[in-house]
């Protein structure tokens, strides 16, 4: 084939898409199509997945889901979970990251120890936590009795189950949070600390007046990522109560509800509507966090 | 405040960064620690500051031994090469941070911030953040922060090297002015001999962790004790002419046009304001000379006759030690035993 100007022009238009296509095809089939599908299904009343039939397009699914006690309590539990786990895990992670950032002998061993939970399976670890939470023989209650506290039915009493989930969830998210914060800390220029030391600032003041403000972009990032992942709490819940949402079906979360609507109730419309509501919640909270970040970013951080 | 450095040595593992360094810094002087990169000048500064512990020897502030004191108990201000202004604090907060640490009351803090800001001319920038300042302004704020606690000693680690050429000249004069106005003893680290010559009262010239020569700027320039000093100071650098066991260093300005002089062939001429830098072949060596060629019509390839002034010509033995100008016999000066072999 000889060279022609026109063919060259046509080809240079197609060319970029050819490079993109392997990735695009996967995204479209496995991400974009399901997302759009969830949106459309959420508006279809009485949708049958196998036959693809539905009664009408309306807000019936949303009406049902929002009036379902299981969902509303799930929403409340999820919100509480996010509200506790995100700040608490960030605060604890800041403390540990600051310790790990100090160049002491054997810090590599500590780093490995702290990051171990990240490579283990949540389900396996969850089952172990269930053992540790055991009312009679669990190590946590054994420790508590040493302080004269009565044995608590962590995973058998409904009033303790949310706390048990929050503690396990915090522990589970810590390694990731520590890694991110630690890498942020290591990027802080050493001279800031030298200057502060020459001025005679004590470690506590250095931490709160210099480390934390300089780390705030990383703290924001980790908060946003953790908020999103905490909203989707499920894999922590499932092993902790042997697949039940709490000992007395009292601890629904939004994602557990989605699973329940789909796998147990076989109502795809309800599940889709719940998923869309969850998406909106995450979307709004993330926007809020980004807005906060923007307001603080004037300082050139 | 007077500073005495007494046989200070710093070793990092097996490498010696500063070796047996002794010097006395006069009260109210601006002293330059000058030397090529890696000569240990920053290490010495950090030891004065207390950031790096001293391996051997002692440091005295006036008559007080501060060798073991932590930085915050030495009452020093330090300006870093990258300024290290806290990006999340305003200019006022940055300047006030040392006072905040000292728990100075808010009203007094404010007054002192304003006072020092006026001195360094940043009083109209107090509400800004460092990212909103130019390099020169950041530099001023960094100086203000170092000066606000009224230190006895101000340490500056290559403070001008992050600025462009024009700002560097401006800030050079500013630092000089601020130092004179406050009278604070200042140690200024630089590798730029021109900067050192123009700013300082006295110079400590270092090489490979050793003090080579110290004294007033002009003293070092006029009377270098070694080939290294003669070559390091001055721009363009002194010309080195090797003749058997004898090395002669000739400053470019020591050449004069002389009818009875030696013949030299011009290679090329570069203009430098009122004078010309002439690169020429002189006694078989390529040398650079500053000559005024306005009155004669010459160009590349022309032959001219040049002579030498007495001032600016130094002779050294083959080890680089200065020979006494009075007689031709080479014998090293008494204190130059520490000078390293010239290896060029």
A47 is a domain residue: no
Q: Which CATH architecture has domain B232-337?
A: Beta Barrel (2.40)
Name the nearest CA neighbour of A167 among A240, A62, A261, A73: A240
Q: What are phi and psi of B205, to 5 degrees?
A: -95, 125
The residue whose two tokens read 């995204």 is: A27
pLDDT at A106: 79
A56 is a domain residue: no
3-state DSSP assignment of residue B263: strand
Contacts of A209 in chain B (CB under 8 A): 97
A205 is a domain residue: yes
Q: Which residues 176-205 in chain A show a CB within 8 A of chain B?
A: 189, 191-192, 194-202, 205
Does residue B82 sit at the A interface (CB-CB below 8 Å)?
A: yes
> Mind listing the pLDDT tens digit for each residue in A154-175?
888 888 999 999 999 999 999 9
Q: Which CATH architecture has domain B3-222?
A: 3-Layer(aba) Sandwich (3.40)
Per-domain residue ranges of chain B: 3-222, 232-337
Domain containing residue A103? 67-299
Name the nearest CA neighbour of B262 among B292, B290, B304, B291: B304
Contacts of B101 in chain A (CB under 8 A): 196, 199-202, 205
Q: Are B238 and B316 in contact (CB under 8 A)?
A: no
pLDDT at B312: 82
Tallying the residues shown for chain A, one arrives at: 301
What CATH code is carried by the domain that includes residue A79?
Answer: 1.10.3720.10
| Contact (CB<8Å) B76/A301 | no
> Mind listing the pLDDT tens digit for each residue in B129-168?
999 999 889 999 999 999 998 999 999 998 888 888 888 8
- Of all residues in chain A, the percent with pLDDT exceeding 70 is 98
> Mind listing the pLDDT tens digit for each residue in B268-288?
888 877 778 888 888 888 888
Sign of CA dihedral B175, B179, B180, B186: negative
A25 contacts: CB under 8 Å, gap ≥ 6: none
Residue B303 binned pLDDT confidence (cut-offs 50, 70, 90): confident
Q: How many domains does chain A have?
A: 1
ipTM of this predicted complex? Answer: 0.77
Residue in B closest to A217 by C-alpha: B88
pLDDT at A300: 53
A243 is a domain residue: yes
A179 is a domain residue: yes
Mean pLDDT of chain A: 90
DSSP state of A265: S
Helix boundaries (H) for A103-189: 107-119, 122-132, 139-146, 158-186
Contact pairs from chain A to chain B, CB under 8 Å: 65
- How far are the Cα atoms of A25, B35, B93 from residue A20, in angstroms, in the given order? 9, 56, 50
The residue whose two tokens read 């539905």 is: A54
pLDDT at B324: 66
Chain A interface, best mutation among B48, B66, B82, B86, by max A CB count within 10 A:
B86
A290 is a domain residue: yes
> Which of A194, A201, A202 lies nearest to residue B51, judging by beta carbons?
A194
Chain B interface, best mutation among A198, A202, A203, A216, by max B CB count within 10 A:
A198
């Amino acid at each position: 084939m000889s060279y022609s100007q026109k063919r060259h022009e046509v080809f240079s238009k197609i060319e970029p898409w050819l490079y993109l296509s392997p990735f695009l095809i996967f995204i479209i089939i496995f991400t974009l199509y399901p997302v759009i599908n969830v949106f459309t299904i959420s508006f279809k009343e009485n949708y049958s997945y196998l036959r693809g039939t539905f009664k009408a397009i309306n807000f019936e699914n949303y009406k049902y889901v929002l009036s379902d006690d299981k969902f509303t309590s799930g929403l409340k539990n999820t919100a509480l979970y996010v509200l506790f786990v995100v700040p608490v895990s960030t605060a604890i992670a800041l403390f540990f990251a600051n310790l790990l950032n100090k160049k002491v002998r054997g810090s590599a061993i500590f780093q490995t120890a702290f990051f171990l939970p990240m490579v283990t399976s949540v389900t396996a670890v969850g089952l172990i936590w269930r053992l540790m939470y055991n009312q009679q023989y669990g190590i946590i209650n054994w420790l508590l009795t040493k302080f004269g506290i009565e044995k608590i039915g962590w995973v058998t009493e409904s009033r303790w189950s949310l706390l048990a989930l929050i503690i396990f969830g915090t522990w589970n998210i810590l390694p990731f949070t520590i890694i991110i914060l630690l890498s942020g800390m290591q990027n802080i220029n050493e001279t800031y600390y030298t200057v502060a030391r020459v001025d005679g600032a004590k470690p506590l003041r250095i931490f709160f007046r210099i480390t934390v403000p300089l780390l705030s972009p990383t703290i924001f990032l980790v908060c946003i990522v953790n908020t999103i992942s905490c909203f989707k709490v499920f894999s922590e819940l499932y092993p902790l109560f042997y697949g039940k949402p709490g000992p007395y079906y009292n601890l629904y979360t939004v994602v557990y509800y989605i699973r329940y609507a789909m796998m147990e109730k076989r109502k795809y419309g309800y599940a889709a509507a719940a998923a869309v509501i969850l998406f909106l919640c995450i979307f709004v909270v993330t926007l809020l966090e980004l807005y906060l970040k923007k307001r603080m970013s004037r300082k050139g951080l | 405040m007077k500073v005495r450095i007494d046989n200070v040595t710093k070793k990092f593992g097996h490498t010696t960064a500063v070796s047996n360094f002794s010097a006395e810094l006069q009260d109210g002087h601006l002293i330059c620690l000058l030397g090529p990169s890696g000569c240990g000048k920053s290490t010495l500064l950090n030891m004065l500051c207390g950031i790096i512990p001293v391996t051997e020897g002692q440091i005295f502030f006036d008559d007080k031994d501060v060798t073991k004191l932590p930085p915050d108990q030495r009452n020093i201000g330090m300006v870093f090469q990258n300024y290290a202004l806290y990006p999340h604090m305003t200019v006022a907060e940055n300047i006030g941070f040392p006072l905040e640490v000292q728990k100075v009351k808010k009203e007094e803090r404010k007054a002192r911030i304003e006072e020092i800001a006026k001195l360094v001319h940043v009083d109209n920038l107090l509400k800004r953040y460092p990212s909103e300042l130019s390099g020169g302004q950041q530099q001023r704020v960094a100086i203000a922060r170092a000066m606000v606690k009224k230190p006895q000693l101000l340490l500056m680690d290559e403070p001008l090297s992050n600025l462009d050429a024009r700002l560097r000249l401006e800030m050079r004069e500013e630092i000089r002015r601020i130092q004179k106005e406050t009278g604070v003893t200042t140690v200024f680290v630089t590798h730029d001999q021109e900067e050192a010559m123009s700013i300082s009262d006295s110079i400590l010239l270092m090489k490979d962790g050793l003090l080579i020569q110290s004294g007033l700027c002009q003293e070092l320039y006029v009377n270098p004790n070694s080939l290294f000093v003669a070559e390091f100071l001055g721009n363009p650098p002194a010309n080195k002419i090797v003749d058997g066991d004898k090395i002669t260093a000739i400053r470019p300005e020591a050449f004069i046009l002389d009818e009875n002089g030696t013949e030299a062939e011009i290679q090329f001429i570069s203009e430098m304001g009122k004078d010309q830098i002439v690169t020429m072949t002189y006694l078989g060596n390529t040398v650079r000379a500053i000559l005024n060629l306005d009155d004669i019509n010459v160009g590349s390839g022309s032959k001219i006759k040049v002579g030498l002034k007495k001032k600016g010509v130094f002779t050294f033995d083959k080890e680089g030690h200065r020979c006494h100008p009075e007689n031709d016999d080479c014998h090293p000066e008494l204190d130059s035993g520490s000078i390293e072999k010239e290896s060029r």
